[in-house]
Structure 1
């Protein structure tokens, strides 16, 4: 069975979608990149086997963060870079979810809404860290914004990975031994207050304010991660995960687009859903982020400005040495793959061929 791609959906249904919906320039750019990805429009690379000398042509990718075909290598590269920042402690995984009443703000002020979410979550965790009964100090946090649910609807939430320890003002590392970071019900109450205050500071209109003040907000604590390899897998899964993995696409027909999803309310069962082509595209494009918006952010002792120094202090106190491959930076090798022709040699990049539009002379 031929694999399906998001570009197939756009090729078939985007003209119809454009007749019914307006697109901002970020959405237009994302569609253009996805349609051009791994086609002649972006040029091609020539790879050659070092054994049989067989040559293969590979089309270049668009590298757009909204393109599902461009996340694999970027995920591996990012995980490799993050390995140097891991601490030999357990990690807490918390998920802060916005009530769906606030989804409407993402339609006219997405950057302010998402920025407020990051700030409110970090302020909430910092408040608890400074008021901890046994020890106080600074936490570290890697936060990742997701705006989608399994059926591509708006489900705005923040995944937070937090090392199990605090760095005191005297820069003494204090490990958190208990099985949870902070009580989630208490976190939920403070998170609600911080988020609503952030929205007021941004001068955003808050819909259904009375309901938001009386309804419990969701803060979910997942199981602790105890091994560095597990933490890396989680980082890859949650940081570079796109809106829709193309393996979930099942069928594209006149009726629309069929795709699989997991129903978390029904014992995590895998089900299928069919949407009209324009509706599928509308849902997908609703998750296109503002240009330049950072959906992965580091806070506290993991913040970019102080991470290297503070991690060094922590590792010294833990009497742990860095692995040899972390001690010095090494130049990345060009990736290579096994030759599909002889199954013995490896493919190596021979040249990059830029695409020249038809009608343009060479030279």
Structure 2
């Protein structure tokens, strides 16, 4: 894959040192580590290897990736490995996409309490979906849920929400049959929205009562229980956004969707246009507009671009992809096997197709021959071998 003309790493390398100096004392250790990882990703600072074609002797240097989950360059390989494992879990049923979004007033609290509030978002949304699906008035079944946390909008503002991928049906309470949802319809979003609102607020108040929430700056007064109750009062009457999209075209469409969403970061390198004296220009999607008018360009001061990117750094050890119900990790294999049995699908038909498998060892860009690693060099070291020059550019993998 060709290297994008501009990368987040370029912006961090050129402007990061001055920005860190100007904001010293206001950055978390996690944010500093993310900046360092992205700056060093696929450079000599992390070491790498030299590969040579066994046919034409074309030589190429490949630097190691940082493997940081916030790095735009490292998520492709991570998503590929994750999808290869998930492909075996797909069932031959329609899949639905449901989105649960926190109101702006709650997002403000989440900004200062990321680990606590993001965790509540996961739990309340999963409990909501599982409860309504189990209700015989709606589906009357135990469903499987894959939830993915996104904390950004298209302009990298703080906009926490979870994307859920759910099979269109579930196992009956007695475990004896598969219950399918109505064609083209999963669960009523208004019912989901009301229950989500109640469950989330209950959990948030419980977290406040146990002292798990911290407040700073303009929100410092919310540490008082009465002020906090008054702050939440309007949210009990507001409509909370729950959105259900149309079902996917089939299992492979689910995989294609997941490959775009599960390991996404705040902004992809492909959306970057320019970085100059006016700031950083990038493409974004304005969802308030219609059709083609949604695609727009935005220019932010470089410091503001860096700040917006870093507000989406997750707390250390926080899991941004979670599974519930039939897909809960401890019982997933048994539940999937039972679901296939109820759907009359043999396990042999359920084996991965290999669509998301690793494409294999790298091939020579010149002749298609096999590339053999001839040297491995350590962090900060200079490789002994040099890359093969070409009329256009040196072949160095920094994609």
Superposition TM-score, scaled by structure 2 size: 0.84
| Partner of residue 250 from structure 1, selected from 255, 263, 273 | 273
Q: 1:107, CA displacement in angstroms? A: 2.9
Q: Structure 1 residue 121 and structure 2 residue 125: aligned?
A: yes
| Partner of residue 29 from structure 1, selected from 33, 38, 45 | 33
Report the secondary structure of 1:274's partner residue.
strand
Report the secondary structure of 1:319's partner residue.
coil
Q: Is the 8 A contact 1:258 1:272 kept in 2?
A: yes
Cα distance in 2, alignment partners of residues 333 and 2 from structure 1: 22
Q: Is the 8 A contact 1:336 1:348 kept in 2?
A: no
- Partner residue of 2:193? 188
Structure 2 spans left out of the alignment, 5+ residues: 214-221, 223-227, 383-399
Q: Aligned pair count?
A: 355
Cα distance in 2, alignment partners of residues 235 and 270 from structure 1: 22
- Partner residue of 1:237? 260
Which range is displaced more, 153-162 or 124-133?
Answer: 124-133
Q: Aligned pair in 2 of structure 1 residues 17, 177: CA closer, same or farther (>3 Å)?
A: same
Q: Is the 8 A contact 1:256 1:276 kept in 2?
A: yes
Q: 1:356, CA displacement in angstroms? A: 4.8
Which range is displaced more, 105-114 or 203-212?
Answer: 203-212
Q: Is the 8 A contact 1:260 1:272 kept in 2?
A: yes
Give the alignment of 1:1-363 within 5 angstroms: 3-18=5-20, 19-20=22-23, 22-133=26-137, 135-172=139-176, 173-203=178-208, 204=213, 205=222, 206=228, 208-268=231-291, 269-323=294-348, 326=351, 335-341=360-366, 343-356=367-380
Structure 1 spans left out of the alignment, 5+ residues: 359-363
Q: 1:259, CA displacement in angstroms? A: 0.6
User: Residue by residue, what CA displacement relative to the aligned partner does 1:13-35 show, whole Å, maximum 9, x if unpaired?
Assistant: 22332214611000010001001
Q: 1:336, CA displacement in angstroms? A: 2.1
Bigger fraction of residues in strand: 1
Q: 1:258, CA displacement in angstroms? A: 0.7
Q: Is the 8 A contact 1:335 1:348 kept in 2?
A: no
- Partner residue of 1:361? none
Report the secondary structure of 2:73's partner residue.
helix
User: Residue by residue, what CA displacement relative to the aligned partner does 1:78-111 show, whole Å, maximum 9, x if unpaired?
Assistant: 1111100000000111000000111222332100
Greater relative contact order structure (CA < 8 Å, 6+ sep):
2
Which range is displaced more, 179-188 or 61-70?
Answer: 179-188
Q: Is the 8 A contact 1:46 1:351 kept in 2?
A: yes
User: Residue by residue, what CA displacement relative to the aligned partner does 1:137-183 show, whole Å, maximum 9, x if unpaired?
Assistant: 21110000000011000111100001111212321222223322211
Q: Is the 8 A contact 1:42 1:59 kept in 2?
A: yes
Which range is displaced more, 306-315 or 332-341?
Answer: 332-341
Superposition TM-score, scaled by structure 1 size: 0.92
Report the secondary structure of 1:95's partner residue.
strand
